[in-house]
Amino acid sequence: MHPAYSVILFTTASGAGYGLLALLAMVAFAHGPASSLAYGLTTTIIALGLITSGLLSSTFHLGHPERAWRAFSQWRTSWLSREGVAAIITYGPAVVFAATWSGLLPWPQFIAPAAAATAVMCLVTVFTTAMIYASLKTIRIWNHWLTIANYLALCLATGGILLSFLTDLFGRGQMFLYGFTAILIALSIAFKLAWWRMADTTPKTLTPADATGLKGKVRQWEVPHTSANYIMKEMGYTVARKHAAKLRRIVLAGFVLAALCLILAGLLPLLSLLFSAVALLSGGLAVVTERWLFFAEAQHAVTLYYGADAA
């Protein structure tokens, strides 16, 4: 599949935003009001800003972005529509949570329920995003529960890295947060390794015979097109195995470095801001590379019509 930059931006920015907002909501549910108005507003505004920018960027990949609103009407059958509906619903409790937790509105009694609803809706929205891909039977390596696990784990891990940096920026870094985020990163690495193993070892069961409905061994007599077309550009994109292996190592190195930096931030509090900043940059590079690979390594079943032996 062709890795569209708008979709990469969408999945990375909104994923980090939902992860950050969910973690902030969990903290608020357990500990109550934010330590200061500035900290509460800054962190929640950044989270909502990432979510909004990510959602808006996803419309750039549409042929007619002005018609994006029509997707909301198909929630009964479309995971894309369900994602849009869930994203809109999330804004309600999120705004109430941001205003009450930060102290902008003096309603502390609403912090816990708004925080609980916000955290749940953040995870539900990320789940629906993952299901857009996991529900596609035409793409073998996406159609697996590990796709959902990867999306949820990366959401919380990137949100934790961002929260660690923002907390350090306000001089409130905590060993527990660094350690918890390092665990989330380790969980993300474990799921990603399992997903790559599944993608590499699961046999390709679809053949040209399945695509055409014919029996026996089917081979092409003529190529469908004599020049490149839209389908081959979008669905037939491939990445060389040697390049994919190199990029996988970059992903793993980026996440491992981020986890190590967070551990060092806890051990060396005087340098915690520096280490959390490096963790943010390293983790950001890793997740963007991972998202690019997620699309580039996917093979659509339509390639069976264009010469592929199996999918």
177 vs 224 pLDDT, higher one: 177
pLDDT tens digits for range 80-122: 999 999 999 999 999 999 999 999 999 999 999 999 999 999 9
Average confidence (pLDDT) over 228-247: 82
Q: Tell me the backbone φ, ψ of residue 135, rounded to 5 degrees.
A: -85, -5
pLDDT at residue 221 greater than cutoff 80: no
Contact between residue 273 and residue 286 where contact means Cβ atoms under 8 Å apart: no
Percentage of the chain surpassing pLDDT 70?
97
Percentage of the chain surpassing pLDDT 90?
69
Instruction: Please report, for the chain, the start and end positions of each structural domain, with discontinuous segments joined by +.
Output: 1-135, 174-311
Look over the chain and give the mean of its residue pLDDT values, rounded to a whole number.
91
Residue 303: band (very low, low, confident or very high) from pLDDT cuts 50, 70, 90: confident
Q: Is the pTM of this model over 0.85?
A: yes
Contact between residue 160 and residue 177 where contact means Cβ atoms under 8 Å apart: yes
Sign of CA dihedral 257, 259, 261, 263: negative
Contact between residue 193 and residue 251 where contact means Cβ atoms under 8 Å apart: no
pLDDT tens digits for range 23-43: 999 999 999 999 999 999 999
